Amino acid sequence: MADAWFERYEHLRFERRGRVLTVVMNRPEVKNAANVRMHNELSRVFADAQRDEGSDIVVLTGAGDAFSSGGDIRAMADKIADRTLWNDTVNEARALFYSILDLEKPLIARVNGAATGLGATLAVYADIAIATETAVIGDPHVKVGLVAGDGGALMWPMLIGFQKAKELLLLGDTIGAPEAARLGLITHAVPDAELDARIDDLTGRLLKLPPFALRGTKKAINHTLKSLALATFEYGVSLETQSQLTRDHAEAVAAFVEKRRPVFTGR
């Protein structure tokens, strides 16, 4: 598969280094928050990476000083104004997370800064996530009136246990990368200056292993995750869809845009 497929993307850019393909979320001016176009591109990129003949390892990272701050608040406002956009978002979320689970090549998250909301979900869905010690991780869905249903409800309890996952997801709190690594939410937290060296060391070790054994091991592990996703993910997304229709979500978005504290009414 030629590099021509890179041209179909606007907010993702690509780098090749030997058999390693790096996917860069590229909206640094908004800390790589996903607008409507970028969300659509994320829903397609891992299927394209699976078919890419020039790579055996995929690295996901963000441009600038952030991994990804999640969903773009202004894109949320657009979806409130035009509910049909939410149907696309749900279908794309489904395609995104199943395509990650279907990606046979090892997926490494290079968490170079804040990973929140969708950004946190992408980090925890990766096979291995290495973050800088100054990065923060969190899923603040509830703070914008949304159910944390797309990825948090499945992966967080599996990685760190149900009670701790509930505490973090119910409060929408962020934690530092060292704490996230201690809990097992991500794999490692390293000094900022050492991030690239750790990524290079990891990809180098993986590339020396027999590809069939590597991919088969990942497929065997992900078989369980895919079975769980059929139940948890679909149910969580249905609840998140309902929450998108609430007045509290609209109030959270409006308050963010207007730079004021939201007033929730439970409706």
CATH number at residue 48: 3.90.226.10
In-domain check, residue 251: no
pLDDT reading at 116 higher than 60 = yes
In-domain check, residue 196: yes
pLDDT reading at 82 higher than 70 = no
pLDDT reading at 151 higher than 90 = no
Amino acid at 174: T
The mean predicted confidence, pLDDT, of the chain is 92
> Considering the chain, what percentage of its residues have pLDDT values greater than 70?
97
127-152 average pLDDT score? 93
Count how many domains the chain has.
1
In-domain check, residue 63: yes
Residue-wise pLDDT tens digits, 229-254: 888 888 888 898 889 889 999 898 88
Q: How confident is the model at residue 167 (pLDDT cuts 50, 70, 90)?
A: very high
Q: How confident is the model at residue 119 (pLDDT cuts 50, 70, 90)?
A: very high
Q: What does the pLDDT read at residue 84?
A: 66
Residue-wise pLDDT tens digits, 179-217: 999 999 999 999 999 999 999 999 999 999 999 999 999
Q: How confident is the model at residue 85 (pLDDT cuts 50, 70, 90)?
A: low
In-domain check, residue 258: no
3-state secondary structure the chain: CCHHHHHHCCCEEEEEECCEEEEEECCHHHCCCECHHHHHHHHHHHHHHHHCCCCCEEEEEECCCEEECCECHHHHHHHHHCCHHHHHHHHHHHHHHHHHHHCCCCEEEEECCEEECHHHHHHHHCCEEEEECCCEEECCHHHHCCCCCCCHHHHHHHHHCHHHHHHHHHHCCEEEHHHHHHHCCCCEEECHHHHHHHHHHHHHHHHCCCHHHHHHHHHHHHHHHHHHHHHHHHHHHHHHHHHHCCHHHHHHHHHHHHCCCCCCCCC
Tell me if 25 sits within 8 A of 112, measured CB to CB: no
Q: What does the pLDDT read at residue 257?
A: 84
pLDDT reading at 112 higher than 80 = yes
Q: How confident is the model at residue 83 (pLDDT cuts 50, 70, 90)?
A: low
Q: What does the pLDDT read at residue 240?
A: 87
Q: How confident is the model at residue 138 (pLDDT cuts 50, 70, 90)?
A: very high
In-domain check, residue 222: no
Tell me if 61 sits within 8 A of 112, measured CB to CB: yes
Of 157 and 81, the one with more pLDDT: 157
In-domain check, residue 262: no
Closest among 52, 40, 56, 26 to 127, alpha carbons compared: 56
Domain assignment of residue 135, given as a range: 3-212
Phi/psi of residue 92, each to 5°?
-70, -40
In-domain check, residue 259: no
Chain CA centroid to CA 110, Å: 11
pLDDT reading at 168 higher than 80 = yes
> Tokens 């900022």 — which residue?
192
44-58 average pLDDT score? 97
pTM: 0.94
pLDDT reading at 74 higher than 80 = no
Please enumerate in sequence order all residues whose Cβ is within 8 A of that of 169, keeping only pairs 6 or more positions apart, or say none. 139, 141, 142, 148, 152, 153, 156
In-domain check, residue 99: yes
Q: How confident is the model at residue 90 (pLDDT cuts 50, 70, 90)?
A: confident
Distance CA(158)–CA(15), nearest Å, equals: 32
